[in-house]
Each structure stands twice: as structure tokens, then as C-alpha cells.
Amino acid sequence: MKLFVDTGNLKEIEGLAALGILDGVTTNPSLLAKESGDYKQNLKQICQIVQGPVSAEVVATDTAGMLREGRELAKIDPHIVVKVPFTKDGVKACKTLAAEGTKVNVTLIFSATQAWLAAKVGASYVSPFVGRLDDIATTGMNLIREIVDIFDNFEYSTEVLVASVRNPIHIVEAARMGADVVTVPAAVIEQSFKHPLTDIGLEKFLKDWEKAQAAKV
């Protein structure tokens, strides 16, 4: 399963890329709005750092506007994946952009039928939002199981990109269900590094080693 970070923050991306664990980045208008500087330049820099797929979302809501923005975003760097929302206009834009050879991530997916329709129009990725489904008292991860089953049945090449991840349990479940990608906020990746038994274990190894060395002199 590929790991993307869900952020527009260059420092977070640089830090994770340096660890060698990062396969790509997803952004959205809310995330990019938090960052200073020109968003196109920021996206270019992100592409140069990660050297993998970087999702950049259109803000137009009509097909013509989405196509205009999508084509502009795609010009920034070959790693750009144009993100469009799952609406009728978004589906039409996805079909055209995909036919032109642009990779498209269809976002704001909340049902398996939405994911299936996006796959039919050539989306490279679908982004089901598990955390936001959990927020309304449904089990978001059930949607991932449904989409993975459907895509497997018909051998769609569209990748299931688990989005709106809120904790490491979402990551483990996504991997067990066979999702292709998980996009995770930097804070949740940080949480995944922490385990009290790792810290205690390392401390003990080092103390035992030091004690043994001191006894030898």
C-alpha cells in the first residue's frame, strides 16, 4: 500500500520524504489555503520534493471551468494529478481529462456507486473519505471494503485512495482490505512512529550495553 501525506505544508513533506516512506501527496483547497506563498509555486516544489503523484484540486464547479483549471494545474509538473469533486460536472471533466492523458483523482466519495461511476469515466484514483463518514456515526471503513471488492470484481485500474484518515487504525484496516493508497495527515504518521514499548525497549538495550562495557574496564 502506498503512503501519501495529506498536506500542503512543505516542511512536513520534506521531513517525511527524507525518511524514505513517502510515495505521494494529496492537497485540497482547505489545506493549500493554510500555506503562504503562491500555490502554483508551492505545488511545483512539492512535486520536486516527492517525485511522485501530487493531487491538486480544481475550485470551479462547472465542467468548462474544471477543464480550464485542470489543464493549468497539469502544466505545473508531470507529477500533478488533477482532483475533481464527485459531481455530474466533475464526472464529465474527469472523462475528458483522462482521455487527454491527465491523471484524475475523484474526491469527496461517500458511496460505492460514486466510486464505481468515477472508475467508469477513467479516474486514476477515487478518494473515499472515511473519517468524515465516521463523524456522522457510520463506519467509514466499510465503504473501503465495498469499493475494493467492486474494483477487484471488474479489474478496474482505478486506485482506491483512502482519505480523511484520522488514526493509525484506519491505516491498518486500509492495508488489510487491500486499498492501494492511504493519504494520512503528518500528525497521524507521527503517531504511527510512537510506541511506549519501543522507547522502553531501546532505553533498556542501551543501559545493558553501557553496564556491560563499564564492567569490562
Binding site for ligand E4P (CB under 6 A): 6, 26, 28, 107, 127, 129, 131-132, 163-164, 183
Nearest to ligand E4P of 158, 183 (CB atom): 183
**Smallest distance, Å, CB 124 to ligand E4P?**
13
Strand pairing partners for 159?
A: 125
Say which DSSP state 124 is in: S
Please pick, among 34, 83, 88, 216, the residue that the annotation labels catalytic.
Answer: 83
Distance (Å, rounded) from C-alpha 205 to C-alpha 115?
Answer: 49
In three-state form (DSSP H/G/I as H, E/B as E, the rest C), the secondary structure along 25-54 is EECCHHHHHCCCCCHHHHHHHHHHHHCCCE
**Smallest distance, Å, CB 132 to ligand E4P?**
5
**Smallest distance, Å, CB 21 to ligand E4P?**
18
Nearest to ligand E4P of 29, 201 (CB atom): 29
Query: Is 83 known to be catalytic?
Result: yes
Distance (Å, rounded) from C-alpha 92 to C-alpha 99?
Answer: 11
Torsion 140-145-148-151 (CA) sign: negative
Nearest to ligand E4P of 74, 106 (CB atom): 106
Catalytic residues: 83
